[in-house]
Structure 1
């Protein structure tokens, strides 16, 4: 655990039913004259959905805007280039993202190439940005990636099929909005996948080499909230209490990994997402029990604690036996929300594992994993995830 650390999060975070109405006032306070709204066609098409409500709030505050609705899942380099072109053509001065992780990452990526050079692939890594982004706010619509309040920007290079991360304090939005009422109609499959991403983002920082006492507390509460609510919200998406708890968990997990970082689950999931354009949360969920079982030997005490946090009875067990129960609990959660067990489900091919393993070890999330692996070991983990039944 680090003795000295910084702690990053947006300066203002609005949470609760109806907070989307505050978007216009905050935009005005930040002197946004003409923000580019970054979203996708699916969200934009929803009648009185998140985009309509965001635009209504901006209109009410007298703030002009332009909409870019070309965001794709696992946002691509060409998405941010298109958004930049529209931003400049329309004379925009700021960015507001509306959606889940893809919208937020696309908005961050757009801001990055507006101020730090057009080739974002050269900026992959940690703290590579020299210049601030345009003013950025994020309206969140899924309890998943927590990109609305983190320093991570994840973009896919379709030419190389590589999903890479630009990690910088400059990427942290100035203001985030988490309104649980925006999530009531999120489809069941997406709810499960994004919810599992929240679960992973609370577990990985807890065993990260960069953890601290503050992030530990956030992880513990986030895990408890997921245990209390994810199954319920997948079963009934209109359960407002469960939706609210999942949003709280997402925010806490995001704050935790924003500062303690992640590990091999995300490093490997990024390769699956880049190679096969697969849903990020589903990739993380499939890998979670397999990668964390591999990690146990590095910090069995932490995994024993995770088992207790997840509600497992560890009384009278050795540290290692208690630690093993945490993996059982992770697997049970995946099964309960209908996550497939094998990466075959997302189209994975064994002939790609060596390249993906090599790139996973280069991923910005790899250094904080508690166990330091080799390329051969990561290939074996991909193979185990492929063979799982």
Structure 2
């Protein structure tokens, strides 16, 4: 079995030799590239090399890379696709325009063409600064239904400042989406492991990813009181994100599942901006991030990977780990990665630190936009 995942330094000779070797064995191949933010200025070099070898390229920029049980801010993950699948880079995507219709109309004719032993996996990477990603995913599901598996994540900067973060062999864009129709075995599952408390509050006003009021009061005023009641801290705009990673919101679903939303900014009017949209009239709970010792996340995720999709044992595991989760677990995040590799029986972990995850906790479940989650699946090339 040839390893189809390579973490290499951003050096022209090394990347060129690897691409040349791969292309000689798989002339119809393509490449997925995961680039840490610190290395994004080197993307034009990768585009040039792929163009020279006539290799299709799809990639994104992330805060950092996952390399087994460590984080890396250098180098690049190159993931080989033995046969290039349909890949689409959509620009200026918004749920409020005709973007969802255009995306679905573009994807639909290719779905049956990529049915190799099962329905294909629609793997999506969004610019994490877009405010309505959840509604875009909902819109795609309404049009494509269960014709595909759904999995995805957000790219961008951990500073939450807009940057061009999605690319192919010719362009680097922001405010868009990168979609790949992968084989059926490339389905992925996610888990966050947050238990839901009993106290429920209500979003009385919201716009996209901005919570304006909770229980008819300015959102930040309510959040300050909740944090004070939980841990006695006095919340200010300056220390806001420090506590938000430990105390995110949870949106209660009709099936009793919880969708995590990480607050990332406060507007001057007292509204709270989250990663991921929050619907008006949603029922919220204040979540407390579990410690590694208390978390059942890896155990639950590993079990579902083994039972719901093809086994991960003996294969590399494509792994995306939420940036907010790394903050609240601190050094224990590395232990969680090590536990994940051990429990799944994966030969290695390859992936990135993400800014939100898309998928379901079970095979063929309804795809939703999550935060603070792990998203994983085998890479069986």
| TM-score normalised by L of structure 1 | 0.25
